[in-house]
Amino acid sequence: MKAMLLLPFAAAAVCLTVPTQAADTSAASRQIDVLLAQGWKKHNITPNPLVDDATFLRRVYLTVAGRIPTLDEARAFHACQAPDKRAKLIDCLLDGEGYVQHFFNYWADVLRAQSQGVGGSTTAQQYLNFIRESLRTNKPWDQMARELVSSEGTCFDTGAIGYYMRDRGMPLDNLSNTTRIFLGTRMECAQCHDHPFDRWTQKQFFEMAAFTHNMTASSYRSKGNDEVQKMVRADKSLDSQSRDLMRQALNEAFRPLRDTLVVQNKGQLRLPHDYKYQDAKPKDVVRASVMFGKPVALTKESNAIGEFGRWLTSPENPRFTTLIANRLWERVFGAGIYEQVDEMLDSSVASNPELMRFLERQMVALKYDMKAYLRVLLNTQLFARASTKEVSPGAPYYFQGPVFHRMTAEQVWDSLVALVSPDPEQPNWTAREREKRDLENRRRLAQILDQTEAPLLFEAARAVADAMREQNKEFDALRKELDVARAKNDKEKARDIQRRLGQSQRILRESVSRQFYAAAKKSGNEKIQEELAAVSGGGSMDMAMMNLMEDTRVDARDMPLDPKHMKRIQADEQVLGIKDPKSAKNFENYQRSLHQTWSRAAELPSPAPRGHFLREFGQSDREIVENASDEASVPQALTMMNGSLLSQLTGAWSMLSINLRKAVTNEDKINTFFLSLYSRLPDAKEKARMLQTLESYASNKNLWEDITLAALSTQRFIFVE
């Protein structure tokens, strides 16, 4: 059984424990170093020296877990005397939740996954959860890619449909993203004309698009709903207004299920009307054909996206394996063997061709196990060498050491979380719990509406339509009053009218809930009756449907705290001198809500809202593939100096402050501070300067806040050495 560790190095003895019985990849790591040495000799290059434990510790945490180590983790690693403690630490980090959260940030950027990117629907969160769970279960990359490009059905079946929902209505753009993400090939230019810098023609682009262009994203489809729509059209007793209102009533009932379905239609793709090349005519039907590699033959019975997914992820595909091997190499060492990673041309040359071929063979041999491949890279001597400060753009890099680079926005934020939160890997319980409840509610709503007989849905829609007819008169009157109030600049009356409009909308939703609940209640389907009983929760039965339609509210104070957490909270209360029950309760509530404000970047809205620290520091907006920035800016400096961030970092209840409070002497405090921020002890010169500062400004109430701001602003903190 796998041994799960909360902290990779919670105590010195822990470093002798291997969390996972991983395959021995040491021979592959050594061979990489051999191939690199051959390249250095050929180009007359001297490799960088090996780094000390402190540099390695900080580097491996930022590379694998996406944050700096905590004080306890740094102390434990330095105290450990095991000769293979670096390899053990790598295994522990790859096995931890920090790996999931850090690499989620990367793949969410590549796949452009957004919390609100699919109309605010359940599918958006399911797409993000698909990425999280794929990483958490260490799903092989070829399987993950195949599931994405071959996905169809509802989001209740698989979150992978978010891949097509993300580009709903834009199938040609989706194909361009697919070739870039999985093959490292830019084909977007060929959408309108033959590629000016590569060999791809416009016809080849459309032949590739023919595999996936029929993938259609839409709202949930119910057989009962389709039948009711037919009944509405066929009922001659209904006038046009009644038909429209009944359709609106059905739309309102199914509204929470919008953007939850991807289906594969059977249309034909044609060349554009202005196609100008001699190999085909405008508007010709295009047959699906792959751009390179083993041909794919489709029959009438073939599943086009299934065949496309198998071709795309095959080890025989000339670029699929090369790309993922090169992508992960770049993530670890800061540059690719092929540059640019996702713009490979026939003329592209690897800086070390023998090494690239070896890495491709390793990826196939490891069956696209990304953790195993990363383990190979992280255990090389290359990863343990000093970083190269300057790499010439456009020139081949022969990897004398990893590339010195600035932290990503997520790494900076997550490192700050490690200074504030006692558990940096703590999930955002409120968000995850709300998503879980909403998903279950939407699933139940879909099941109830799907299985309720069409005549019953028809009667419910007609009853709601009758209510809407009267309500629309009230809406129109209120809107006219609102226009008059605004024209007179009567803000108080305008607010009152808007409140009444909101109440009217609420009444409409209640009417929908009541009528469709009544329809479901009349159904003879036993499963429906079980679902209705489950969702009523002992409350008003006729509002049971509304419970499924409305977004769930979750209070952070309801988060359960296990005895282990309570013991830690009580220990911190003693350090802080908290004795009275009221203050203790406030501290407990602070700890319960910490996961909302100080969660890892992967646990926050994806991407974060504009103005958030993450966006200011360059987080991708997820509109295009890998759109993040690591450039410094004036707004970043202002965020650090003028925002509330610093006061929270140095506030009495942050882990940094609690740890400093535990330190007895000024020397202990300095050691604690350096280990917390830099993962190492200060040298003699640094310690002397810090002692002088502490003594000179002892009366300054903001002393540690000033010191922390200065430390966070240094290259030593913000860069990955």
Q: Given a cut of 70, is residue 168 above it in pLDDT? A: yes
What pLDDT score does 716 carry? 92
Of 7 and 566, the one with more pLDDT: 566
The number of residues making up the chain comes to 721
What pLDDT score does 474 carry? 83
DSSP E strand boundaries for 378-524: 405-406
Q: Given a cut of 50, is residue 240 above it in pLDDT? A: yes
ω into 8 cis (within 30 of 0) = no
Running DSSP on this structure, what letter comes out for residue 218?
A: E
The 3-state DSSP class for residue 441 equals helix
Per-position b or e across 102-118, b if 16+ CB within 10 A of its CB: bbbbbbbbbbbbbbebb
Confidence of residue 476 (pLDDT cuts 50, 70, 90): confident
Give residue limits of the domains in the chain.
12-95+319-406, 429-554
What pLDDT score does 417 carry? 96
Q: Given a cut of 70, is residue 1 above it in pLDDT? A: no
Q: Which residue is it, tokens 């939160």?
A: 421
Q: Contact, 261 vs 217, CB < 8 A?
A: yes
What pLDDT score does 119 carry? 59
The dihedral built from the CA positions of residue 672, 674, 677 and 680, taken in this order, carries a sign that is negative
DSSP E strand boundaries for 495-534: none
Cα–chain center distance at 156: 19
Strand partners, 388: 403
The values of phi and psi at residue 577, to 5°, are 75, 25
What pLDDT score does 38 carry? 97
Q: How far apart are CA 166 and CA 646, in angstroms?
A: 36
The tokens for 141 are 């990359």
Q: In what order do the strands lie in the sheet with 261-264?
A: 153-154, 261-264, 215-218
Cβ contacts of 86-91, under 8 Å, gap ≥ 24: 86/53, 86/56, 86/60, 86/384, 87/379, 88/15, 88/16, 88/17, 88/18, 89/8, 89/9, 89/15, 89/57, 89/60, 90/60, 90/64, 90/375, 90/378, 90/379, 91/18, 91/19, 91/20, 91/22, 91/375
Q: Given a cut of 90, is residue 544 above it in pLDDT? A: no
The tokens for 677 are 């921020």
Of 644 and 490, the one with more pLDDT: 490
The tokens for 329 are 């190499």
Q: Which residue is it, tokens 């950027």?
A: 109
Q: Given a cut of 90, is residue 365 above it in pLDDT? A: yes
Per-position b or e across 480-489, b if 16+ CB within 10 A of its CB: ebbeebeeee
Confidence of residue 542 (pLDDT cuts 50, 70, 90): low
Instruction: Report helix angle 353-365 to 320-333, nearest 10.
Output: 110
Q: Contact, 593 vs 556, CB < 8 A?
A: yes
Which helix (H) or strand (E) segment holds residue 437: the answer is: helix 429-451
Confidence of residue 405 (pLDDT cuts 50, 70, 90): very high
ω into 570 cis (within 30 of 0) = no
What pLDDT score does 11 carry? 39
Q: Given a cut of 80, is residue 465 above it in pLDDT? A: yes
What pLDDT score does 616 carry? 93
Please give the average per-residue pLDDT across 275-295, as a whole number.
Answer: 92
Question: HEC profile for 448-477?
Answer: HHHHCCHHHHHHHHHHHHHHHHHHHHHHHH
Cα distances (Å, whole numbers) of residue 239 to 227, 229, 236, 456, 508? 19, 14, 8, 20, 22
The dihedral built from the CA positions of residue 285, 287, 288 and 290, taken in this order, carries a sign that is negative
What pLDDT score does 5 carry? 40
Which helix (H) or strand (E) segment holds residue 496: the answer is: helix 491-522
Strand partners, 154: 261
Vertex 92 angle, CA 90 and 93, to 5°: 65
What pLDDT score does 643 carry? 73
Smallest Cα–Cα separation from 65: which of 378, 388, 384? Answer: 378
Vertex 503 angle, CA 500 and 507, to 5°: 140
What pLDDT score does 15 carry? 44
The per-residue pLDDT of the chain, averaged, comes to: 90
Q: How far apart are CA 116 and CA 533, in angstroms?
A: 31
Smallest Cα–Cα separation from 667: which of 689, 651, 696? Answer: 689
Please give the average per-residue pLDDT across 216-228, as a whole number.
Answer: 87
Q: How many helices (H) and strands (E) does the chain have?
A: 32, 5
Smallest Cα–Cα separation from 332: which of 40, 640, 63? Answer: 63
Q: Given a cut of 70, is residue 4 above it in pLDDT? A: no
Which residues, in sequence order, are CB contacts of 404 under 8 Å at separation 6+? Answer: 334, 387, 388, 389, 390, 719, 720, 721
The values of phi and psi at residue 153, to 5°, are 110, -155
Confidence of residue 423 (pLDDT cuts 50, 70, 90): very high
Torsion of Cα atoms, 443 then 448 then 453 then 455, to 10°: -100
Q: Which of 81-85, 241-245, 549-553 is predicted least confidently? A: 549-553
Q: Given a cut of 50, is residue 9 above it in pLDDT? A: no
Running DSSP on this structure, what letter comes out for residue 294?
A: S
Question: HEC profile for 143-156?
Answer: HHHHHHHCCCEECC
Vertex 680 angle, CA 19 and 717, to 5°: 100
Query: At 23, which amino acid appears?
Result: A
Confidence of residue 543 (pLDDT cuts 50, 70, 90): low
